[in-house]
């Protein structure tokens, strides 16, 4: 049986093929000046791709949440940087809320 290609459905409803390079680029931007080697960021992207394997449609929200889940364990500063872009932080209160969620032992709640 042939595997279906993975398609990402964006918030706008637009559909595009999954591109792990986009994840790596986002991770690199969030991890700038952090002690995270490219190999580690590539491994995160690969793990996300594997988690989504099987083809079909996946929402961009699901992809973003998987990235945040991996970053939460990897590096808190990179996590907050990525979350600020992904969740569209508007002010300092957004950062404060996310840091509070990050420091809790439970997984972050989604908006």
pTM over 0.75, yes/no: yes
- pLDDT tens digit sequence for 69-111: 999 999 999 999 999 999 999 999 999 999 998 888 555 555 5
Residue 25 lies in a domain: yes
- Number of domains within the chain: 1
Write out the residue range of the structural domain in which residue 91 sits.
6-103
Q: What totals of helices (H) and strands (E) does the chain contain, helices first?
A: 5, 3
Residue 85 lies in a domain: yes
Residue 108 lies in a domain: no
Q: Do 23 and 63 meet the contact criterion of CB atoms below 8 Å apart? A: yes
- pLDDT tens digit sequence for 6-27: 999 999 999 999 999 999 999 9
Residue 109 lies in a domain: no
């Amino acid at each position: 049986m042939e595997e279906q290609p993975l398609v990402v459905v964006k918030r706008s409803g637009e559909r595009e093929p999954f591109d792990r390079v986009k994840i790596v680029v986002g991770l690199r931007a969030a991890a700038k000046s952090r002690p995270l080697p490219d190999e580690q960021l590539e491994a995160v992207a690969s793990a996300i791709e594997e988690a989504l394997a099987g083809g079909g449609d996946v929402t961009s929200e699901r992809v973003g949440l998987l990235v945040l889940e991996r970053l939460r364990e990897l590096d808190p500063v990179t996590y907050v940087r990525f979350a600020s872009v992904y969740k569209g932080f508007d002010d300092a209160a957004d950062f404060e809320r996310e840091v509070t969620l990050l420091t809790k032992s439970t997984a972050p709640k989604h908006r």
